[in-house]
Structures are given as structure tokens and as C-alpha cells.
Structure 1
Amino acid sequence: MQHTISPDELHGTVRELCAFGRKLPGSAEEEAACAAIGARLDRYGVPYEVHRFEAYISWPFRSAVTLDGAVLEATGVAFTADTGAAGVTGRLAELKAGRDLTGCVVLVDGLARYDACMAAAKAGAVGLIAISTGPQRHFVQASPIWGAPAGAEQVALLPPIPAVQVSHGDGAVLRARLGTEVHMLAETRREWRDVRMPVAEIAGREPHFVLLGAHYCTWQDGATDNLAGVALLLELARLYAKGEKPRYGIRFAFWTGHEQGGYAGSSWYADHARAALYDHAIAYLNVDIVGVRGATTKALRNVTGELADYSASVVESVAGKLPDEEEAFVRLALKRQDKYVDPRRSSRGSDQSFSGIGLSGAQVSSFLPAASAEHLPQSGLPWWWQTAQDTAERCDPAILAQDTLVYRHLVEGLVNAEALPFDYTATAADILASLREYAEAAPEAPGIVELIAQTRVFQQTAARLRQAAPSAALNDTLLRIARHLNPVLHHAGSDFTYDLGRATRLLPGLAPALRLASLPADEARMARVVLRRQANRALQALRLATREIETLLPENQTS
């Protein structure tokens, strides 16, 4: 590709889409933004389709906290309970484990996440107030559901109490008045809405394709979360439309219902385009948090093991090697539950809806450096993340151009690859790292020893792929291995459904091993049944993956 990335074109897209303000799924603003994306694709000569479907959407409407007649500004939380216009009243208290908080409005630090809301409700609280780290207030959601709810029993899991966030200063005022009665208004909406989702495609010479996704719905203007990502996709579409047809195609998906729908758009697409994705998708490249002003640290994240070395080499070649302190900072910021697994591996969030299909993937975000005064504590995210302050001037065209170059190289190394750059020895190392924690917690758990042994067999067999001659058969084998392994690595339940919650760990089906030693006898017996079945599932995936390699490269074949 010889055509040049245009910072002006990139930032022009960001400014145009910011002008629509909040782009709530199913709103007139979403329709206008969708039309603007379509107009640019038309101008670039890229064919696209706008998918229309119903999504379960939630958003805050009116929110405030009143203390002794003084009204403090507040931001509501999607998918929490609606107070109605009357609001609720209760005594201010800290959320502490084991306390009876009946009738209280509780205070917590940070964001109003699901676990905190449910702990407060269980303790009897009538509302929750989260206290920000600074003067800003963040828009967030508190749902454990991934995508559209699959039944009334899932809707019943949503927080039964209202929640808001206040600024750090107003939080200090509230903390100084513990025990005082406070009034809390938190009107929220939950409803099925007709939404729009554009998906464009540049066809390749062969039927396989790379999927790129970026959400275009926003809480407010949303310059860096995530209109810069939308601009990046459009710029790559412009460039590839001008160039020679690649070997493999590229699909550009503009997700809707990101947080307001619990990743409604990407999960809908995974459900409705599943056959094409399963048969032909090479990888999913998620584009979220790019072009951030001052964000010079390129954070590789949401990367599956088999693409980790390739993705890291691309980032280093374009943006340079991260200093050790920045690498350590990125790893600290990318929190997950696993004790030994690389934190850059795929997480449960940010439209990561394709693990059940088995897609490999990667994401590169622009993080503020460790020394920056503008990032949220222990996070590379800027303080304006998901706030009303995320306006067009928060996006740096030069940084966005560099981020676009990173993704351009990531895409190019996949869509014109003679041999796909997958290394499953790294995936095997991830599996062993995950199993190490489970084995330490429950060395006698059913299947753990067998899994470790089978993973080592797979790792040794996968090493032979490095010497395999490039061929269509090799690439097909690499993709089939991903279809076997990634669902088990990232889903505890079915490959066709989504686990509840956002907790992130590899081989989540084996998580009962971590508490096995502390369970009462009967519960431990039942947990062992679960572990045996989950171990069997993982063993089957590993054996099938190993068999794929042995079929391609018999032992007596010269590598």
C-alpha cells in the first residue's frame, strides 16, 4: 500500500461525528452518525450494509444528589434501577462488608460497577453513590449480561438499586456527613430500541477476511472513546479501496450498543454472521482508545497467544520498543484475575464478542505514559474517558495517524500473508500458565494433571508448524486450531452463548478449582463433577488441535 495516511482526514471524521453529541443507540443522533459514516464510505467507494435490529439499551436520564437542600451534580449509571422522578432518601454510610445498611445510601470510591451495586443491595441499601478520582464524572454501566438478555432470569440479575457518580470534591462533602439523610435522584431508562450498525467490506482475491471493529455509539461527544477508532477504520477503508485488491478481504464493523447495550452490536453480529465468521474470518482486530492526546504509550492488549509475538513485533517496528517502565505500567493497568497469565491476553470487555466462534485477535490502544498527570490512577486511560469532556480537542491527529499506521501494518501482515503469523507454542504457554494456578489451588482436581500433559504434547507438536512450508493448507490448519482452542480458553459455558459478568481469566470453566478446598463436602463433590466435564472439554480441544497439526505434518514428513 503506497497511499498516505491523512491526519486531516482522520481528525475531520472525529470532528464531524463529535458534532452530533451523544450517539445513543436508537436515537436520531445515532441515525445521523450512521449516515455520516455511510457518506464517507460512499465517497471512498467502499460497499457497505446497515444492519437494523432491536437491542436492549439503557442510559441515565436525570441524576442529582441533594444534601441539606444543596444540589450536587451527579451522573447516573446505565442498567441500574430507576428511582423515578421522586428519587430515594436514605442515611449516608460507607459500603463495608458485613454491615447492615438497611435504608442507607452507600458511598464507594471509583466507578459504580456491578459487584459494588449488588453488595450494597444485599446489605439493604436503597442507593449507591460512587466518588470519582477528580472533578470529572464518568458514564458507565453495571450489567453482568453480555449483549441482549436471553431471558427474564437474566434481566432479574440487573442491579435492583439506583446508582450515580459524583465528583471527588462532592464526594468529600458527602463523606463528611456520614449518618446524614441524603436524597438521590437517578432516573434511568431500559428499553428495546431499533438500532443501526454499518458493516463495510473490501473483498479480497480469496474468501477469507480480517474483521476490524470500532464502536460509534458514545455517551457524549466521545472523541477518543471511540470516534477516533471509527476514523481509523474509515481511513483504512479509504486506503485499501485505492490500492490493489488484497489476498484476503477486510470487513469494517461500526458497533452500536457498546456499553449502553452491553456489547449489543458485536454480539448480534457474532450471532447473525456466525457461519461466515467461523468459516472465513482470520482474526478480529478491536479498535478502541486510540488518538488520545498525550498518549505516547502503545498498549498491546486483548491479544490471543498465537498472535502475540506478531502483534508485538508490528507495534515495535512502527512505534518503537516500550521502555521497561512503560511495559510494566501497561501490565499493571491491564488487570485480570489470573495469577500467572500475561495481562495483555484477551479480556471480557470492549466488544470482545468473538471468542466463542474461535477467532484470534489483537488490540493496540494509546495509553498515557506512566509519568502523565492526566491518566486515571493505575490506568493508561485519560481522566476524560467516558465523560462529557471527551471532545474533539482531546484527540491528537498526529497520534491518531500513528495508531492508524500500527493497524495498517497489523492488517497488511494478515491480509497479504503467504503464511499466517500464528504461533501456537505461545498459546500453549498461556494454557500452562493458567493451569499452574488451578493445579496449585487443587492439585487433585479431576483432569488437571491430564490437561498439563496434553498441553505439553500440543506445545511440542505446534513447534513443528514454524518449519512448515507456506500453503493454503497450512493457513486453513492454523484457523481450525483457533476454532478448537479459543472457545475453551475464553468461555466457561457454551461456544454459542456468553458467560455472565466481566471477570477475566483463561480456562474459566476450571475456576471452581480455586475454591475447591474450602467447599463443604457435598458442594465439593458437585464441583468435581463440573471440573471433570470442563477438563474433558479442554482436553478434547487440545487433542483436536494436535490432530490438525499431525494431519498436516505427519511425523515422517520432512519439515
Structure 2
Amino acid sequence: MTAIDAILRDAVDAGETWRHVEKLSTIERLAGTAGEREAVQYIMDKLAEYGIPSHLYEFESFVSYPLEAELQVLEPEPLAIPCRPRAFAASTPDDGIEAEVVYLPSEAEHHDRSKMIFAQTGANEDYQAQDVSGKIVLTTSGGPDGLKLAQDHGAVAHVHMWPSGEDVIHEMIVSSIWGTPTPESAARLVKIPAISIKRADGDRLKALCARGRVRARIKANVYIGWKPVLLPLAEIAAADDDETFMLVGGHHCSWYVGTTDNATGDACLLEMARVLYQHRDRLRRSVRIGWWPSHSQGRYAGSTWYADYAFADLRRNCIAYLGIDSPGVKGAEIWDCRYNHAEVERFTDRLMREVTGQEPNIRRPLKAGDQSFWGIGLPSLGAYRMVPADSPVRANVGGSGGAYWWHSPEDTIDKGDAAILASDTQLYLTIVGRLCTAEKLPFEFVTAARDFEKVLGELAQAAAGHIDVAPALEATRRFADAAQALDQRTAGVAGPKANLFNRRLMEISRIINPVLYTMAGDYDQDPALQLPQLPGLQGARRLPGLDAASNEYGFLKTRLLRELNRTVDALERATAAAKGIAGQ
């Protein structure tokens, strides 16, 4: 442990942090409602009480609330199944819609409770055996990816049977549009109703489908529209401020009272703000802490709004983003280090081993969880304490430490743990403290070069004879050499040169991350769909299966050539930047 580690960790007040949880756990915090305003007023009052400079932003957000739904089996026997509609799904006419129900097996059928719900995506192959046009699809693939597949194949409604077997119905959002829609992305607004049911009820409906023809009626009512929302932002200025800062954030909106998603996170952020402000004289870099609205009801529209609003400042001055969601969960033990970009992998790995004693499983980001800053090029960091995979409360969910109560009325104050929350807050303060007091940013790009090489190698093999990936692989090798030389040069950088050195490291992140993680690029947001790294090149895998004389083949090959140019250009610019630093 470093000196700053001990100072920040010792300053955490477990009682004060838990009092925030107790207060916020009395408030249902739907985006754009009176409950949100009450919670935000509490956060702002606490920041004022601590003397922390802050700003409250208000803007219009496009949000959705599920209201009510019914699922009534009509044939072969009458059966009412409890359900909930999905945010941003279409409403039905007042008298509902009737259609045949078809069950589609998917990868999630044999569920692994350690997998996040965002990973249960489904695939086109699921639809090859059945024509679902004009029918109601029953499937375990229920996120934006699964809904899009059903809609694209002509289904009139989508019923998501939850992959794991907990006795709750989870709230969820099905729009693939990241943040507030634009004229271009608005075409992806969901056009069919979607509802969620328990696994046990899904198995009953599945069994009926196996016996013969099943007809059902669905009624669903969903609010979709504009609401004013609030974004509090705390600003802890460093004593030696060179304009750089670290961004830390988590969402304040919730489903129901949402103790562990995300009242505990909001409390953690408040305590981090208090401790960091108390010790701001020790910081080399400032810290901004944001409480994002419209996460749960607006598909991350709050963090996306801030990425748009503060783009230039974030691009020039932000060293990294740390997202905090669902800390302090009862029974959580195992750290899951998802949402880590390549350049921070070594830093995260070393810190987690030292602080937790666990061997971290460093993972690249999912397209979820307010990861709204990839186009800007910010490195992302993440560490989430989870309940063990063999715990009886573990389920296929997207937060709450992997516990079954996520996004349900069951997520109440008894599901949190004050001691675990204090410990989690200490860990996050250690991450921020080290990054904001280090003379040199602990970024390295050898790992990023390996990521490029791995994915490009896979694509070269998959599309052999159809598209030439060799120029990108050659550019990757040059980048890897430059990154290795830069890594060796780091030890000799000190004093006044360190600030310029850090700026150049940030520049490399800005160059490579939009290519490595986005299709939309620097100024827009990709859909909330799960894609591998270098998403713009993944279409290369499809080329061998297409008719080389077809328009589809020619159009796709043209798109891929342009994406290869984008990739090579980024690698060459990053190589030049790395060589420039190493030669200083």
C-alpha cells in the first residue's frame, strides 16, 4: 500500500456511507419523476454540507417506463402468466394482439449463472429452423440483441423467459439506441411489444409449444416520451491542477428503490467525494464525480449527454473513466474486473492483486453500464464485487453483484452490506488515488497491440482469400514495437517532462480506442448490442458465406476496405505518437 492509499482508505466512514443508503432506499428513483428530484436534492444537499463545489445540470431526456402487461394463453388451454412489459417496447392496442406462440432455443437455454444477462444475445442461427413471421416468439435471449432478432425476422411480439430460475420478474430496457435517439438512430426504435416472464412460467409455455399449437394474447402498455432529468456533478480540484482530471460516475435512477442498483453506488460516490475533497491538497489531478440520470429508463442517456456536452474538455483533459455500479452487495466476495481497456490492464491487475489478494479476471468492456466515452477515447476501468457463482442467490442478471434481486422489488435495504460497501469504497478510492497522484500515468500499449494482433489474426483466417488484412497486421507489428520501446522509456521520465509524457499517452488512447471499440467513431454512439473488438471489421467473417458476384458481397467488401483504412491509419498515427514519446 502507498501512503495515499492508507490516507484515503482510513478516511472512509462506514456509518456515514450507510446513512446515504438508508435514505436513498426509501425513494423510488425513476428518471424524470418526483422521486428522482428528491434523491438528487439529497445528493446536492450532502455535497453542500461537505463544502464540495458542484453543479446541477438539467436537460430533456427521452425515457420509457413499463406500465402494465398481460399474457393470456388461449389455446390449447387457458392460462394467465404473470409478466412485465419492457421499457421502450411498443404498446399493443387496448384489446391486445393474438398470435401463435413459437419457442426458439438459444445459447442461453442451458444457462450459466455466472454470465451477465447482456451476454445472452441470441443469434441468427436460432431462427433458421422456424418461420416466426406473424408469431409471438418465446426465447431466453431477451436483451436488445434478442429483441432485434425477433423483430427482424417478422415476429409480432417477443416474450423473454428469464434464463435463470429466480422467483422474480426483472425490469429491463430493450431499445438498442444508446442515449437519446438521433434522426438516424430513431429508425431503430422498437416496433413490437416485448414482455418478461419467469423461467418457470416460460418452461410451462415451452412445454405447451412442444405438445402442439399454442395461441396467446398479449396486452402491453409502455410510456415513451420526454422528461426533464437532473445530473449532479461534483468537482474536486487538485492543488497542482494542470487541467487534467479523472471522471468517476454511477447512475442515480433505479427500478423500485434499487438498494444495490444503485443506491449503494450513489452512497459510494458521495463518500468518495467527501474523502477526496478532504485530501485534495494531495492530488496532482482533479476528480469529477457524476451521478448519471436516465441509465435504467433512457439507455444511458445521462452519461451520453455528458459525453456530448463536455466532449472537448473530456477529449483534451480526462485521463480515464471509472464506472461504479452495485457495490456493497450482501454476500459479494469475488472481484470481476470487467470494463477495462487494454492500456489499464496492467495497472488494474497489479492493484487488484495487491489490495484484494485475488487473481483478477481482467475483461474488456461490454457495451453496457454507461460506457459512453469510447468514442472520445477515454480508457475505461472497472472492478465489481460479485456473489460467488455457486451461491444460491446468483442469477443471470446485469448488476447487484449478480444476485437475483436485480431490477426487481426485492432489491431492498436488507440486500446491502455496510461493511462490504465501505471496503468497496476503499478500493475505488485506491484506484482514483493512485491515478490522480502518480507523476506518470501507468498506461501501457503493448497489451493494446496484442488485442489488435489477436483480432486481426482471427479475421485474416476467417476471410482468407476474400480481403487482405496483411497491411493492418503489419501496422500492428510496427505499433507493438513502438509500444514496447515506449514502455521501456517510461522509467526514465520524471519532473517537468512527465506532464508532456502523460499528454502523449492520452493522445494514443484517443487514437486507438475509437477504432478498437467502436463502429460509429469519435462523435456518435454505437447501438447497445454486443460486438467483439474492432467491431467495424467483424463483417469480414461473413464474406466467405456470400456469393462473390452478389451486390451484398461487393457492398460489404467496400465497407470493409474503408474500415481497414481506418484501422491502419489509427495504428500508424499511434505508432508515430509512441515513437515521438520514446525519442524525447
| CA separation of 1:525 and 1:89: change in aligned 2, threshold 3 A | closer
Once the two structures are overlaid, the 10-residue window that deviates more, 520-529 or 257-266, is 520-529
Could you list the runs of 4 or more consecutive aligned residues of structure 1 that deviate by over 6 angstroms after TM superposition? none
Per-residue deviation, 1:524: 2.6
Once the two structures are overlaid, the 10-residue window that deviates more, 366-375 or 63-72, is 63-72
Equivalent positions of 1:323-402 (< 5 A) are: 344-377=363-396, 381-402=402-423
Answering whether residue 234 of structure 2 is matched by residue 185 of structure 1, we say no
Match 1:305 to one of 326, 337, 342:
342
**2:145–2:530 contact (8 Å) kept in structure 1:** no
Match 1:531 to one of 548, 557, 560:
560
Which SS does the other structure have where 1:184 is aligned? strand
Opposite residue 16 of structure 2, the aligned amino acid is E
Match 1:268 to one of 299, 302, 305:
305
User: Which whole-Å deviations, capped at 9, do the CAs of 1:241-281 have from their partners, x for residues lacking one?
Assistant: 11142110000011111131111011111111001101100
Opposite residue 291 of structure 1, the aligned amino acid is G
Once the two structures are overlaid, the 10-residue window that deviates more, 386-395 or 523-532, is 523-532
User: Which whole-Å deviations, capped at 9, do the CAs of 1:166-212 have from their partners, x for residues lacking one?
Assistant: 22333233334433433322111110111111111101122100000
**2:136–2:158 contact (8 Å) kept in structure 1:** yes
Cα distance in 1 between the residues matched to 2:143 and 2:135: 18
Opposite residue 186 of structure 2, the aligned amino acid is V
Which SS does the other structure have where 1:217 is aligned? coil
Cα distance in 2 between the residues matched to 1:392 and 1:516: 52
What TM-score do you get using the length of structure 2 for normalisation? 0.87
Answering whether residue 440 of structure 2 is matched by residue 419 of structure 1, we say yes
- What stretches of structure 2 of length at least 5 have no aligned partner? 105-125
Equivalent residue number for residue 35 of structure 2: 29
**2:237–2:280 contact (8 Å) kept in structure 1:** no
Which SS does the other structure have where 1:144 is aligned? coil
- What stretches of structure 1 of length at least 5 have no aligned partner? 331-341
User: Which whole-Å deviations, capped at 9, do the CAs of 1:479-529 have from their partners, x for residues lacking one?
Assistant: 111111111111112310112242231111111211111122243333222
Which SS does the other structure have where 1:239 is aligned? helix
Equivalent residue number for residue 545 of structure 2: 518
Per-residue deviation, 1:124: 4.4
Equivalent residue number for residue 40 of structure 1: 46
Per-residue deviation, 1:446: 4.5
User: Which whole-Å deviations, capped at 9, do the CAs of 1:59-109 have from their partners, x for residues lacking one?
Assistant: 200122234666432111011111144322333332362433455333222
Equivalent positions of 1:184-203 (< 5 A) are: 184-203=218-237
User: Which whole-Å deviations, capped at 9, do the CAs of 1:29-72 have from their partners, x for residues lacking one?
Assistant: 11111101111111111111111111111120012223466643
Residue-pair matches, total: 534
Opposite residue 390 of structure 2, the aligned amino acid is A
Equivalent residue number for residue 168 of structure 1: 199
Once the two structures are overlaid, the 10-residue window that deviates more, 230-239 or 119-128, is 119-128
Equivalent positions of 1:130-149 (< 5 A) are: 130-132=160-162, 133=164, 134-149=166-181
Equivalent residue number for residue 335 of structure 1: none
Cα distance in 1 between the residues matched to 2:451 and 2:325: 24
Cα distance in 1 between the residues matched to 2:249 and 2:430: 16
| CA separation of 1:459 and 1:101: change in aligned 2, threshold 3 A | closer
| CA separation of 1:464 and 1:516: change in aligned 2, threshold 3 A | same
| CA separation of 1:444 and 1:248: change in aligned 2, threshold 3 A | farther
**1:141–1:260 contact (8 Å) kept in structure 2:** yes
Which SS does the other structure have where 2:383 is aligned? strand
Equivalent residue number for residue 260 of structure 2: 224
| CA separation of 1:235 and 1:445: change in aligned 2, threshold 3 A | farther
Opposite residue 512 of structure 2, the aligned amino acid is L
Cα distance in 2 between the residues matched to 1:446 and 1:99: 33
Answering whether residue 82 of structure 2 is matched by residue 73 of structure 1, we say yes
Which SS does the other structure have where 1:307 is aligned? helix
Cα distance in 1 between the residues matched to 2:397 and 2:79: 33
Answering whether residue 39 of structure 2 is matched by residue 9 of structure 1, we say no
Q: CA RMSD in A?
A: 2.0
Answering whether residue 70 of structure 2 is matched by residue 58 of structure 1, we say no
Match 2:570 to one of 541, 555, 558:
541
Per-residue deviation, 1:130: 1.7
Once the two structures are overlaid, the 10-residue window that deviates more, 352-361 or 448-457, is 448-457
Once the two structures are overlaid, the 10-residue window that deviates more, 377-386 or 194-203, is 377-386
Once the two structures are overlaid, the 10-residue window that deviates more, 448-457 or 270-279, is 448-457
Opposite residue 300 of structure 2, the aligned amino acid is Y
Cα distance in 1 between the residues matched to 2:397 and 2:45: 40
Cα distance in 2 between the residues matched to 1:426 and 1:176: 48
Cα distance in 2 between the residues matched to 1:514 and 1:259: 33
Which SS does the other structure have where 2:484 is aligned? helix
Per-residue deviation, 1:138: 0.9
Once the two structures are overlaid, the 10-residue window that deviates more, 195-204 or 370-379, is 370-379
What TM-score do you get using the length of structure 1 for normalisation? 0.91
Equivalent residue number for residue 520 of structure 2: 493
Identity in percent: 33
